[in-house]
Amino acid sequence: DAGITQSPRHKVTETGTPVTLRCHQTENHRYMYWYRQDPGHGLRLIHYSYGVKDTDKGEVSDGYSVSRSKTEDFLLTLESATSSQTSVYFCAISAGRAVGGYTFGSGTRLTVV
Amino acid sequence: AQTVTQSQPEMSVQEAETVTLSCTYDTSESDYYLFWYKQPPSRQMILVIRQEAYKQQNATENRFSVNFQKAAKSFSLKISDSQLGDAAMYFCAYLANTGNQFYFGTGTSLTVIP
C-alpha cells in the first residue's frame, strides 16, 4: 500500500541463518507492527513499536527481535531461523487508536529450509 | 487476551447474490472498534469496513454492511450483489480503545461462483 513498503517480498533461507525483514513507512505514523500469518491462525502479533527505540512483545515473540532507530524503519530479525518460522510476515502502521485501522504492507513470504 | 472467532473457514456465493460472514468476539471492554479486512490472492490486506462500538447504527460501505450486535458480541459482514472480485479471504479484527493491538480471527475464504 502507498506509504508503507516491505522488503524483501520473498526470501528462502536455511535453518540456523539470521534473517532481517525491513518495513519502511513514509506516513510518519507512531505505531508500527509485525504480524505473522499462518493458515488456521489468522494474523498474530510478533512485536510492535510505539516510537523510536520503544518496542514491546506480542503473543508470538519467541525467536524474534525488533529494532526501530528511526520513525520510518522497523526491522524484524530472526536470529537463527527455524522451519517453524516459515510464514508470511506483514508489517502494519497506525497513527493511533482514535483513527482506527491499520495500513498494511504487501507482506514477505519467508521460507526456511 | 481478547479472542475473535470466525466459525466459517470457507463460504461460497453465486455471483449477484448476497452472503453473510460471521464473527464473534470476547471482551470485557465497553469501548472498542471492529473491522473487516479483505485479503485477495495478491496478499494485500484491504480495509473493508469499520464499526465503533459506541455507535448503534450499523456501518455501511456501498455493497458491504455489518450487523453489529453488541450484547451478543457478534459482528457479521453482509456482501450484497456479490462480484467475482469479492473472492478473497476475509478477516474480522478487534481493537480495544484502551490498547493498540489488533486481534484477528482465523479468516473466512469466500468463493464467488459465476
User: Which residues 47-86 of B are in CB contact (within 8 Å) with A?
Assistant: 47, 50, 52
Cα separations in angstroms, A102 against A50, A90, B18, B101 = 14, 11, 27, 10
Mean pLDDT of all residues in B100-111: 91
For B42-79, what is each residue's pLDDT tens digit?
999 999 999 999 888 899 999 999 999 999 999 999 99
- Comparing C-alpha atoms, which of A27, A21, A18, A111 is closest to residue A72? A27
Residue A27 DSSP SS3: coil
Instruction: Tell me the C-alpha distance between B50 and A73, whole Å.
Output: 27
Tell me the helix, strand and coil percentages in chain A, rounded to 5.
Answer: 5, 60, 40
pLDDT computed for residue B48 by the predictor: 95
CB contact, 8 Å: B32 with chain A?
no
CB contact, 8 Å: B101 with chain A?
yes
Mean pLDDT of all residues in A82-108: 87
CB contact, 8 Å: B33 with chain A?
yes
Alpha helices, DSSP H only, in A25-99?
none
Residue B49 DSSP SS3: strand
Confidence of residue A96 (pLDDT cuts 50, 70, 90): confident
Mean pLDDT of chain B: 93
Of A97-111, B47-61, B99-113, give the lowest mean pLDDT range: A97-111
Quick one: CA dihedral A77, A85, A88, B37, positive or negative?
negative
Contact B45/A88, CB-based, under 8 Å? no
- Comparing C-alpha atoms, which of A41, A94, A72, A71 is closest to residue B101? A94
Contact B91/A59, CB-based, under 8 Å? no
Q: Give yes or no for residue B30 having a pLDDT over 90.
A: no
Q: Which of B45, B97, B106 sits opposite A41 (nearest CB)?
A: B106
Instruction: Name the β-bridge partners of B43.
Output: none
pLDDT computed for residue A99 by the predictor: 54
